[in-house]
Structure 1
């Protein structure tokens, strides 16, 4: 009880400091892609330049993972053509470079075909990935936006009044017969059900999501076992709009997570587990601040933030079946000019059993520029 009181005191102190210094609006929105096709862009060709410059320093002192720093940039120059009011064709390249390395770490082609009909979209090729899936960090780390930004496969989006749905396949490693690499793919679905109208002061939503990661393949010429790992989560989120000068809304989010290994031969430390995560989120006019409580038993996640994991990457003997964390996050973003945004985030973790703090801080400059190039004239075939 004393440990919890000390932690809550520290989190309250951080909230007071945050109220004094923070000065911008939302955060993750600056990283999200525009997924809707604008009918006014029909027959137009654009040059798009997307770029993120980042530094994220993770000061970790726990027994699960070593501290580390990401510093670098990625750029995505793309040509985009809208042959009709509901079709988008886009091609380009993804270039990832870490500071201190002379060469690009990733050079990946980008090609997207999107068909949109009312509130339905089908995407083939390069999909709207990473943070666009709107997954909680225990099952999908924010850092994938830096390290694995490009996802390829197929995606279906639904944008209805009472349902926002994203279902996708990310084919991470394709194999041919007798290849010496394992096939790797991820199938996921992220759904948000609205129980009340978004114009109401009180908004209730139910998130329902899952991720299935598959490794193996019958065509592969390697002697390894097929592995299928799955994470699911369901929750109840309550948002109350205040619209005061200082605070826009208060949210209370609750999630229940599960993990299970559906492989014939279990190679992971745990074969199944579960966790709960509760967060109080204050969305002010100038920042977003949250505090949370994480309680996990035998939980694992292939793509989750390492701070929420139980299996040690440093020494397997330090793996524990249970973990309780107090979390505190501050998100800040501000536009520098049209299409250029500055972002800052800081995260604090307190392990109740180890009685230790870990923290991270990150800065981002996100550039999204769109330049009109040409309008393509369309011709109808002659009638005979």
Structure 2
């Protein structure tokens, strides 16, 4: 571990010296940046779909960043620690090359920009992936328009070599947001599409190749009844399809519906909804919304009906510090069982010093 840390420091120092000399010649920017997050995430789940757990810890991701108007390059490392563990959960290098293709489109290769979770909703993206499944690595295109924004990415989650005793894994995703109901009134919409693949042409395991697809459409209509309060009515629709060439499962296609009433005022968001799904599978989403039990397949439920309530506070301090606290309740109508979870996250994302 000490040798790895020493190598990372030496490489980072070399990059710093190299780019600093070029920065002085080209009048560009060189700085030491930190992406970090401390978190306390607790789930009190007692049903048969999923049991509760707690994640207390932090991650830090320092990087030296060389920046011009046309492109930027950042190199550093990412480390994840969970409180009380005997060792680090993760220590990996990070490297990101960012190119401004046009006034609206950015290409990123290497470590992806994923601090927002690609704006994915909870049924498709489990929120704890924001701190447990970082960094994401692959290729990404970001689009920023006047009325919309989009994110197209591939995250390569497991690399294989000839003879590896496991399959390669990657996720391809696309998100498009048209306005945001919190900040505008009238119609807004979000579209999400994700594909999850397990396999590989040099796969030496006997496991079947798997490809699963999730699609989500989240229209909303918002208005201001008074003052700074914004209300929104939404009915989110989700679809699941198993596109595996030979792999079959108990559920090969399914859907989910999530009508909600949402309110936003002074950095506080409250939403109340009802979730109904039939044979819905969500590989990266919160398991409570899916039909597959994380405990034992005998507890799988083709039909899921949940009452959902979320209270969230989120505020940015200065330009680089973000505080997020939320409390979520899920009421399972089949078991008449309330389950809940709460999370506190403090995120830093900014420049520490200009070199």
Quote the residue 2:221 is aligned against.
238
8 A contact 1:229–1:259 mirrored in 2:
yes
What is the Cα deviation at residue 286 of structure 1?
Answer: 4.4
TM-score (norm 1): 0.81
| Structure with greater contact order relative to length (CA < 8 Å, sep ≥ 6) | 1
What is the Cα deviation at residue 178 of structure 1?
Answer: 3.6
Quote the residue 1:188 is aligned against.
173
Quote the residue 1:49 is aligned against.
34
Closer/same/farther in 2, CA of residues 291 and 59 from structure 1, 3 Å limit: same
- Determine whether 1:205 maps to 2:174: no
* Distance across 2 between alignment mates of 1:213 and 1:286: 34
* Distance across 1 between alignment mates of 2:332 and 2:280: 16
Closer/same/farther in 2, CA of residues 291 and 128 from structure 1, 3 Å limit: same
Closer/same/farther in 2, CA of residues 304 and 132 from structure 1, 3 Å limit: closer
Quote the residue 2:305 is aligned against.
324
Find 1:221's aligned residue among 204, 208, 220.
204
8 A contact 2:208–2:247 mirrored in 1:
no
Find 1:284's aligned residue among 249, 258, 265.
265
- Determine whether 1:271 maps to 2:252: yes
* Distance across 1 between alignment mates of 2:59 and 2:282: 26
TM-score (norm 2): 0.87
Quote the residue 1:106 is aligned against.
90
Closer/same/farther in 2, CA of residues 336 and 235 from structure 1, 3 Å limit: closer
1:63-85, CA deviations, whole angstroms, 9 ceiling, x for partnerless residues? 11111111111111111111x21
Could you say what secondary structure the match of 2:298 adopts? helix
* Distance across 2 between alignment mates of 1:45 and 1:243: 46
What is the Cα deviation at residue 133 of structure 1?
Answer: 0.7
* Distance across 2 between alignment mates of 1:99 and 1:212: 33
Instruction: State how 1:7-156 maps to structure 2 within 5 Å.
Output: 43-82=28-67, 84-116=68-100, 117-129=102-114, 131-156=116-141
What is the Cα deviation at residue 162 of structure 1?
Answer: 3.1
* Distance across 2 between alignment mates of 1:126 and 1:320: 37
What is the Cα deviation at residue 240 of structure 1?
Answer: 1.9
Find 1:363's aligned residue among 339, 344, 353.
344
* Distance across 2 between alignment mates of 1:51 and 1:80: 15
What is the Cα deviation at residue 199 of structure 1?
Answer: 12
Closer/same/farther in 2, CA of residues 243 and 115 from structure 1, 3 Å limit: farther
Could you say what secondary structure the match of 2:288 adopts? helix
Alignment: residue pair count: 329
1:2-60, CA deviations, whole angstroms, 9 ceiling, x for partnerless residues? xxxxxxxxxxxxxxxxxxxxxxxxxxxxxxxxxxxxxxx97111111222111111001
8 A contact 1:47–1:79 mirrored in 2:
yes
Q: Which runs of 5+ in 2 are unaligned?
A: 1-25
- Determine whether 1:257 maps to 2:238: yes
1:69-119, CA deviations, whole angstroms, 9 ceiling, x for partnerless residues? 11111111111111x212111111111000011211011211111111201
- Aligned-pair Cα RMSD in Å: 2.2
Closer/same/farther in 2, CA of residues 291 and 200 from structure 1, 3 Å limit: closer
Could you say what secondary structure the match of 1:145 adopts? helix
8 A contact 1:80–1:90 mirrored in 2:
yes
8 A contact 2:138–2:156 mirrored in 1:
yes
Closer/same/farther in 2, CA of residues 201 and 274 from structure 1, 3 Å limit: closer
What is the Cα deviation at residue 181 of structure 1?
Answer: 2.4
- Determine whether 1:352 maps to 2:333: yes
Closer/same/farther in 2, CA of residues 314 and 198 from structure 1, 3 Å limit: closer
Could you say what secondary structure the match of 1:101 adopts? coil
8 A contact 1:88–1:115 mirrored in 2:
yes
